[in-house]
Amino acid sequence: MVQETRALGWGRRYMMCPPDHFQVAYAINPWMGGTVDPDRAMAEWQDLVDTIRSAGGEVEVNPAQPGLPDMVFTANAGVVDGTTFIAGRMRHAERVEEIGHVSSWALRHGFEVQALSDGALLEGLGDAMPLADAMVVGYGARSNEIAHADLHRLTGREIIPVHLADLRWYHVDLTLCPLDDRRALVFPDAYDAAGAARVLDRIPEALVLTEEEASTFAANSIVVGSTVIMPAAPLRVGRQLEAWGFDVVVVEVGEFAKAGGAVRCLTLPLDTELTVAPSTIEPTPLEAA
C-alpha cells in the first residue's frame, strides 16, 4: 500500500532582512572569512526573494540596522508559533542586539512576543527545526539545553535534542531540511548517536547526506509548496528530489556563505504552527520598542 504524502504545512511566508550592512566583520563559526561584495550580495538576496515569490511564497521585509551585519540571517532571531513570536537569545555578543529589532518588528506586525527563561540560549529556527509532530533542537555550539524546556512548555511539542559538537555544524538548519510529512534531507553525522537515531526514526524516507554533500549547505534549503530552493544541489541529491516530484531551484548565495549561511539562514518562516497542547509556562511578554 502506497503511503500518501502531504506537503509541509508551513514555508510559504517568510520574513527577510536586506543585506544593507552585511559584511564579515568577525568570525564566530569556522566558515566565516573573506570580503563581501555588497552589490553582489544585494543581487543574490533579491534573487532569493524573487525566487520565493515566483514559487508562490510571500516575503515580508524587516529593515537592516547599522552595526548588525548578521541581522540578514533572520532564521536565527526566533521561532514563530501561530501568532506568537518566541524571541531567540544569541550566544555571541556581536549578535545580541538583533533580537530586539526583530521582536519590535514582530510586535508591529501583530505577533505576541514571548521571551525565554533566564539563562536560555536559542538561535531561533536555526536550532529549533519542526519535524513531523516534534522539534529537532540543537545544543552545544550555539544554543543550550535550558531552552528545551521553554520550547516544550510554550508549544507542547516533543523536543528531540541533538548535540552539535563539531563547530562546522553549528546550527541544526545546516543539517536538516524537512521536505514534506515523510521526507527530509538530513546529515545525521553532525549529531550525537542517540540524537541521530531519534531524528532518523521520525523520517520515513530520509535522504541522508554525505559530509561532502552537507558541506555545500544543501540542507540549508527551504521548501515552498513543491519547490525546493537550494544554495547547491549535488547531483545525487537533485536527482532524488526530482524523483520524489519536487522542482529544484538553485540560487546563488555565495556572498552569504562567506559568513557561514545560505538559503534557510536568510529566511524566517512566519507560518509555522507549533502548539499542540495548552501552554504550562508563564509567558514573559515583551513590550514594543
Any idea which residues carry the catalytic annotation?
171, 265
Q: Please, how many CA atoms are within 13 Å of residue 71, restricted to the half-sphere of its CB?
A: 23
User: Going edge to edge, which strands form the sheet with 158-163?
Assistant: 128-131, 134-139, 158-163
Q: Mapping DSSP to helix (H, G, I), strand (E, B) and coil, where does residue 158 land?
A: strand
- Record the cell numbers describing residue 132, joined without a space: 513531523
| Distance between CA atoms of residues 95 and 90, nearest Å | 6
Instruction: Judge contact between 263 and 47, C-beta under 8 A.
Output: no
The H-assigned helical ranges of 90-208 are 98-108, 146-155, 193-201
DSSP string, 3-37: PP--B-S--SEEEE---TT----S-SSTT--S---
Instruction: Judge contact between 77 and 98, C-beta under 8 A.
Output: yes
Residues with Cβ within 8 Å of 218's Cβ and at least 6 positions away in sequence, in order, are 177, 185, 209, 230, 231, 232, 233, 234, 237
| Distance between CA atoms of residues 162 and 86, nearest Å | 20
Q: Among candidates 111, 248, 120, which has minimal Cα distance to 185?
A: 248
**What length is written for the chain?**
289
| Distance between CA atoms of residues 257 and 16, nearest Å | 16
